Amino acid sequence: MTAPYAQHCILPPGLLYRLARCDEEALRDAALNALALDGRFRLARAESAARLLQLPRPVTFAWIGGQPQRTIYDQQHSESQTPGVVMRVEGQAPSKDQAVNQAYDGLGATYSFYWTVFERDSIDGASMPLLGLTHYGRRYPNAFWDGAGHMFFGDGDGRILTQTTAGIDVIGHELTHGVIQHEANLTYSGQSGALNESVSDVFGIQVKQYALGQDVHSSDWLIGADVVGPLLRPALRSMKQPGTANPYDDQPADMNGYVPGGDVHINSGIPNHAFYVVATTLGGHAWDAAGPIWYAALADPQLRPNATFRDFARITVRHARQTYGASSDQTHAVQQGWEAVKVPLC
């Protein structure tokens, strides 16, 4: 069962706890407010994920796919979990509200990536509607997938985060939590929780690269660069150099720095860097080979909710061998990626 304290937010709770202890009153209040709002969704997310463990995967016939079903709401700064005023629905012209349009475009970019690259029809693979709730709370510095079909966007406090709808990778990251929920349902604690966060970063960065037409060498491999405020610049996380994204970044780049019992957002730097090594070793686009290998591993029935880094690594190697051959460049790159972060394969 998913841990009851699971929270699929783009901003790590550990960082918010640190900011909540700072001397600056405005910053402290912003962090405490964010933590209070985040906490309201923890149990609901955990219960939603737990229910999926008990349900058979639905079989849907005769759907075509290829077209998202987006609805963007304005929460008008309320803290309600109920969708607010409808601002834009699928096919409508742009709104006068920039955040609404950014949410609409980001949800569309994520759908387009998953459909074009993997023929996955929305989060659940069965045309789930994509619902974006903008202007959530007052100066709320976070964005999250609630586990029940909604993505919430805060406007940011201006210091920690700015307008969260501006981050295509953030939207891709959060919606990928939903994909994970419908596939391996990785438990949100320990190494499986770090994998949950890492896989979300892996596909979040690919959504951004795909939308911008970037290859593995032109990408900055930074998560959240478009939403961080001055306190966290230049980004929330770096897949290229974990631990260097901002003054508070304490992610390890390999198992030598693994933090036993550490927050899932910290240890996720290890599998993040493994993917970066694989993708840049192969060159081209991340979704040419590295992305499909990771996606196949995520969808593999042998990937259990409590999987370790080693479990996931071995599944990625197996899929690389099955698809490309044991002596292929792709298989060697996957092996090198896990070796680089010191995750044993045997």
- 226/133 Cα distance (integer angstroms): 19
Give the tokens for residue 152. Answer: 């919430």
Query: What percentage of the chain reaches a pLDDT higher than 70?
Result: 90
For residue 60, what pLDDT is reported? 46
| Most confident region among 17-21, 50-54, 64-68, 185-189 by mean pLDDT | 185-189
For residue 22, what pLDDT is reported? 83
Report the CATH fold assignment for 13-182. Elastase; domain 1 (3.10.170)
Average pLDDT, the chain: 91
Is there a catalytic annotation at residue 174? yes
Considering only 60-64, 110-114, 314-318, which range has the smallest mean pLDDT?
60-64
Phi, psi of 335 (to 5 degrees): -60, -40
On whether the 190-340 domain is CATH 1.10.390.10, my answer is yes
Predicted confidence (pLDDT) per residue in 123-176, tens digit: 999 999 999 999 999 999 999 998 888 999 999 999 999 999 999 999 999 999
How confident is residue 50, by pLDDT bands cut at 50, 70 and 90? low
How confident is residue 1, by pLDDT bands cut at 50, 70 and 90? very low
For residue 44, what pLDDT is reported? 53
For residue 31, what pLDDT is reported? 85
**Averaged pLDDT, 296-321:** 98
Q: Is the pLDDT of residue 55 over 60?
A: no
- Using CA atoms, how far residue 268 sits from 15, 195, 262, in Å, is 14, 6, 10
How confident is residue 321, by pLDDT bands cut at 50, 70 and 90? very high
From the list 143, 149, 97, the residue with the least C-alpha distance to 123 is 149
Q: List the catalytic residue out of 8, 174, 182, 285.
A: 174
Predicted confidence (pLDDT) per residue in 227-240, tens digit: 999 999 999 999 99
How confident is residue 3, by pLDDT bands cut at 50, 70 and 90? very low
Q: What is the domain partition of the chain in residue ranges?
A: 13-182, 190-340
CA angle (288 as vertex; 286, 289 as ends), nearest 5: 90
Is there a catalytic annotation at residue 47? no
Question: Where do the DSSP E strands lie in the chain?
Answer: 70-74, 85-89, 130-134, 143-145, 150-153, 222-223, 237-238
**Averaged pLDDT, 275-286:** 98
For residue 2, what pLDDT is reported? 35
Considering only 41-45, 165-169, 302-306, which range has the smallest mean pLDDT?
41-45
Q: List the catalytic residue out of 8, 265, 285, 319.
A: 265
Query: What percentage of the chain reaches a pLDDT higher than 90?
Result: 79
Q: Is 129 exposed, middle or buried (0-12, 13-18, 19+ CB in 10 A)?
A: middle
Predicted confidence (pLDDT) per residue in 214-270, tens digit: 999 999 999 999 999 999 999 999 999 999 999 999 999 999 999 999 999 999 999
- 150/345 Cα distance (integer angstroms): 37
